[in-house]
Structure 1
Amino acid sequence: MEEVDKILIHTLRQVGTEVGEDVDRVNQFTSELIVEAVVRCIRVIDPALGEGLPTSLPPGMSARFRVGMSLAQACQDVGYKGEIGYQTFLYSNEPEIRSLLMYLVEKMPRESSEASDQPTGKSAVLHRAIAAAIKGQLAVSWVPLNCRLPLHCETQNKAASHSFHVRPLSSPHCINGQKYLKEVKDYQRDFLLPITAQCPSQTSMMSSILEQHTADLSSAQEWDTEWKSQGLLSRLTPQEYSSRKLTRLRKRIEEQLRSAAAPSPESVFSVPRSTSELSDLLHTFRGSTPSDLILTKGSHFTHTQKFTFTQEAAAITSPVHTGRQSEGDAQLRQQEELAALQQQFQQLSSDVDLMVADMKHMSVTNAQIFDELKQREMENTKNEEKMQVKKKTIDLLPEADSNLQKLQSQVEASANRVVNLASQWEKHRAPLIEEHRRLKEICSTKDLESSTKLSEIKSLHEKIRAATVEAKKKEESYKQLVTELESLPQDESRSAYTQRILEIVGNIKKQKEEITKILSDTKELQKEINSLTGKLDRTFAVTDELVFKDAKKDESVRKSYKYLAALHENCNQLIQTIEDTGTILREIRDLEEQIETETCNKTVTNLERIMDDYKAIRQENSALAAKVREG
């Protein structure tokens, strides 16, 4: 039983029961520890059933009885068929508790994928407890602070909530096998602040870390998806594919910048406007900039004209005043000049708008004219070809007969040449067709092989991912087992445990052999007893028949018959006495076992505890009655 108790205690510790290090037997379990162990096991077997059960006993005796009844009902609900009640938990005995814990441990799911994937140990139990607490808090509806009752204070925090602020963080990690330069590594080692110091407040640190972690995960998943869908088909290495993609992106940005920075009239009016987001953004930036600040290319005449106009405007806005004027006349003159300049500016703006509209109209008209010109040039070339054919035909008309004969001879020669070329082509065509078919078959086989290899590569990627996940899980389990091994006492080695297991197995084998030997001996004795009993009955019947025949004739034989009958009766009584003695001995052994069981059940101690609990209940009842009378 000692080994069984150790296995039970180890399993209970794995499910989260706080069993002390000095507890190594079931008879050392207290009532509180029994209740906690049973509730933990029920929560693993049926979480919905064990969610409402407390893991500790309340202080009041009546509440303890109710908890014991609810635990007994829960154990029956999970399928326990033994005798169980509140006394099993409050006034427990070793055999009942051991049988109950053995049933619950065997009932726990072991082969399910969820149970097999979950790691064991205190840290895993703590993580599961945290997850369960978070799920429970998320299931409770949120109540405003002013409307909260004392019941909500246990599940909802009274502290002020904070909004979700995210700050950009910089962490020294490598992405997609990228190697940083020495300067970057020196900066990260000597100058980069830790993440906890990069956030201005502690409230935004957790949200920033979560946001960065989510962004890293999403980018890694996007890269994995893109590589499996497009990267494998390109048949390039990941580094070559990334550099090629970066080069294409840079070229596209340069083209968009060039087209947005200096658009030509032809590209504006003849080429449709790009609908890409980058082009729209650049056009937006360009449209929001004042027209006089845009750096555009122009001729020397344009710059000279603009400079001359600027000087004239400066000359207009700053006239030379020879005489002294009053302050009011100066303001009036400035207003008049400003109105004149505004009117001039509006006139110039309207002229520019008209010119732009005329340019657009002219560009559209120019494009249409260019299209018509191209179409007419194509028509002219076709008409010229037709005219040349007709001209040659007209030139041949005066000598029509001779020309027809020459044409006929040329046609026959052409036909003969075509037939000769066709025969030659057939000679070359057959091997070429065979070669084409052979190459086509080779291409199809290579395509099939490439597709199969591609599918194999994808399956290998999936296997690698699964193996990586499994390796991580095994590595975590290995680390956890190593820590548990280090925490275990080192005075006993593995060989000692193995030797103990082998001794236990050897003792079990010896016990089985002894039991088998005893059973065989018992069967042999029973067979011998049955054979002797049958032989005795047959001997008595034959002797009785022979003596009874002679008893009718001789008096001495008659007395011998009476003695024979008395001997047979005394032998039967002796056999019955022996059987009764064996039965009494078995009953004595059963009573001794019952006495030992009752001794192990601590009946006297339980009776004393029951009397103490009874007195406590009476005191609670009297106190409640006094409160009722006072109320």
Structure 2
Amino acid sequence: MEEVDKIIIDALKHLDCDIGDDIQSLKQFDADMVVNAISTCLEAVTLDVTLPKRLPPSMSSRLNIASSLAQHIKDLGFRGDMGYQTILYCNEVEVRRVLMFLIERLPRESIKNIPAEEMGYVPKIIKIIEDKIKDTVRQVWIPSSLLKYGIREYDGGYLVNSLGNSCPLLNENLDMPKSRNKDEVLKQYWIHNLPDVTRQCSPRKLIPSLLFKDSRFLKNPDLLNTIRKQSENISLDDIQNMKITLSSGDVNADVKMIAGKEETGEKIIEQEKENRIIDVANELEAIKLKYIALQEVTKNNELQLSQLRIMKNEEQEVLKNTLSKVKLKTKTLAVINKEENMAKLKNIIQNASDRLVELANQWNEVQTPLLDEYRSLQNTLTTEEAKMQEEQQKLNNMKETYQKLVEDLREKSLLEKNLIQKCQQLNRNNNRSAYTRRILEIIGNIRKQNDEIQKVLKDTREIQKDINNLSGQVDRSFTLSEELIFSDAKQDETARKAYKLLAALRDECSSILKAVTDLGLAERESRNLQEQIENEKSKEIAAKLERVNSDLEQIQKETQSLLKQS
């Protein structure tokens, strides 16, 4: 099969398939390469169809693409077992069969058979861009707002497109040192007590706070001039007369006294805001107190209501018990001293019992023969069904075997005819002559194998014929010997012993022949089982199951991620 694989790979390379030079056989093909090869062949066979050349990462998209390719192949007349599993979990034999089927249907004069070197650089780039756009359009688009942090996979990497980490422009008033101010007290405060800018607000509010303060002062030059005039009116004597201590509380108080005038404009605005906030807080507190009081009243009412319901249920139970007792006593008083009623009831009960016994006897008389007949019919039906099922199973197995043999024979005959026709129609160039030589070698090998098989069959028939002749000679010899010895065995004791030994020898020879025949049958069954084992191993069931399990886990992960995103 190596020569066949080389022919298939060479044909795929002429169709501009992306196959590396290190790929020498179809056994090295993976799912992506199989999809690329099948899509290229289908596009060459049906010119008005455009198919994806690669499998997407999403498992559901993979299944859709594989099912679509399988349907296209079936539409072309492929008669073998073809489905998405043939493409996603294929083995060497299935890939070879499908690619040979597609290559046989390629047109002889196709545009796609032109070598890739004839295409210029710009057309190549345009073709790559078109393929990228087609692949992108076929994929399911998910909005960036539904993705976690707006991250999506793209061409082996990741693309970030998200506004999920944005936040509103919130600012705070920051206390920062001023380089132009040379007061030592303020410098000591800035050095030892003033927190860093990054600690005065949260990281998200830091940049808005810095930008807002700068822009506010730039847009309000009058406020800046007022603050500067007020700071110039402060004398150095006022600052020097203040008590400076090492405690942070005193330093903060002194700094607030000195810097108070500098921030007078800001405090006026802040004071108004604080007054509004205090008023709203007071109103909210009053409403909260009213709400708490109403909650207490509601709880008390609910407690009283539950107690009343419990009392009501208890009273209803007492009433039910009392009514039942009254009814019982009423019935008892009605029955007391009523001997006639007792006698009537006994007669009714006796009559009902007799009637019931009579009906049971009648039913048994009718039921017994019917049950026996039913059981016999059921046993007969079960036996017939078992026989029918066994015969049906044998018939189905024979039909399947016959169909497989007929299909294999038809495929091989068709393949041989096509190869012979192509060999006759090929031109006399180097590549085609090499193909012709390889095909003729393959056909010669097939004929040699066929001749060897026929020779083995002929030898087998001759051996079987010899065995039958020898068996007949042995039987005739034993029969003649028995007739000759039997006539003398009536009078001679030695002849009688010889007759017994001859009979024992005949039985032993028969058992030996039977053992040899059984051994041959066992060897033939062993060879058949070995061939079946090799066929099952070639299907690579274990590897396919591992791939199916991994794909199932991937589908479950994708489902969970989509559920989380939704």
Structure number with bigger Rg: 1
Tell me the TM-score range normalised by the shorter chain.
0.3 to 0.5
**TM-score, structure 1 length as denominator?**
0.36
